[in-house]
Amino acid sequence: MSEKGNTGARAKAKSAAGRSATGRSPSGRSPSARSASRLAAVQALYQMDMTAIDLNDVIAEFETHRLGQEIEGSQYCEAEAAFFRDLVAGVVREQLRIDPLIDRHLAEGWRLNRLDSILRAILRAGAYEILMRDDVPTRVAITEYLDLAHAFFSGDEPKVVNGILDKLAREARPKDFARDETGDG
């Protein structure tokens, strides 16, 4: 889970973007406009983390040059621009609230700043969506970010994403899980 080199991360981002743009996710679902928005948000957050690009500049770059565009021969799915903007801006706005919550659920001795930049972006975006976007069902948010983790990583990182987002969701939205525990779900 340690930070990888910039070149490897770019290759993973391109590979994940290509799968999301043209194929099916690991859960077998076809990509949607919201799925494309989530992928773009993770990529934008990664870019901000690696290059210190300004929030407004990264949003403008993605909206102008990436969302729904053809890049290196792959036609990317049309993304929901307003949802993309909310995810990226929301993570930045709520980061001081989100990061300690994620940190609390990491394995002993691990801190968020020690994780791979892409993994941090996935966890932050997923946490933001669970905490702040009541219009998105909890299980949808977890599944979407788990799919992204599988697209970028082949090791234990998807398990980390699933575990942390599940714990955050159970704390933030306990009613969404009450049916499971009573057997009504």
Nearest to 114 by CA among 103, 105, 129: 103
| Predicted confidence (pLDDT) per residue in 73-114, tens digit | 665 677 889 999 999 999 999 999 999 999 999 988 888 888
Pick the range with the lowest mean pLDDT from 13-17, 164-168, 176-180.
13-17
Half-sphere exposure of residue 111: CA atoms within 13 angstroms, side-chain side: 2
pLDDT at residue 14, as a whole number: 45
| Predicted confidence (pLDDT) per residue in 120-153, tens digit | 999 999 999 999 999 999 999 999 999 999 999 9
Q: What is the mean pLDDT of residues 14-32?
A: 48
Alpha-carbon distance of 111 to 98, in angstroms, equals 13
Counting runs of H as helices and runs of E as strands, what totals does the chain give? 8, 2
| Fold category of 6-182 in CATH | N-utilizing Substance Protein B Homolog; Chain A (1.10.940)
Highest mean pLDDT among 6-20, 58-72, 74-88: 74-88
- Asked if pLDDT for residue 57 goes beyond 60, the answer is yes
- Asked if pLDDT for residue 179 goes beyond 90, the answer is no
Q: Look up residue 42 and give its two tokens.
A: 């993770």
pLDDT at residue 11, as a whole number: 45
Model pTM above 0.75: yes
pLDDT at residue 111, as a whole number: 87
Angle at 146 between CA 113 and CA 139, to 5 degrees: 115
Q: What percent of the chain clears pLDDT 90, i.e. is strictly above it?
A: 58
